[in-house]
Amino acid sequence: MPNESGIDPARYGSFKEAESALYKAHSIVHCTPVYMLDHSALALSISPFSCGFDSGVVGWVFTEDTYMPERQFLELAKLELQELEDYLNGTGMYRYIIKDANTGEVLDSCGGMHGYDYCLEEGEATLKRFLTV
């Protein structure tokens, strides 16, 4: 997972010690642990999972933005973790392909889009550009 904090948790005896170092190194406004459940697929959350055997703290998500309300921070953290979870599990990623109906030639395509609705919107917008030419 991305580590932009400059803190290497392996250098500390516990996550609490690493978290203390994180607070010393940054002007943190909001911070929450990131929990992972690893059981046939990966699940990420800002809340602990009920199964302690296959889950635990794997890091933190934080902001130094003094203008961000905590509620907004938590919502953004959930969205970021959902996108990362989808990527790690190979789900939630979509692609569109636009082909010439007569020849089958690929006219345009784009992949790696997160979310079906977003991919559909982009594909439809691109198709409209081909139809107006």
Q: What is the pLDDT of residue 1?
A: 46
Q: What is the largest CA-CA distance in the chain?
A: 65
Lowest-confidence region among 25-29, 86-90, 94-98: 86-90
User: What is the pTM (predicted TM-score) of this model?
Assistant: 0.72
Q: Which two tokens stand for residue 58?
A: 């794997």
d(CA 49, CA 56): 8
Question: Would you say 57 and 15 are in contact if contact means Cβ atoms under 8 Å apart?
Answer: yes
How high is the pLDDT of residue 2?
52
* Closest by CA position to 127, among listed 102, 93, 101: 101
Average pLDDT over residues 33-61: 92
* Residue 31 pLDDT > 50: yes
pLDDT at site 64? 92
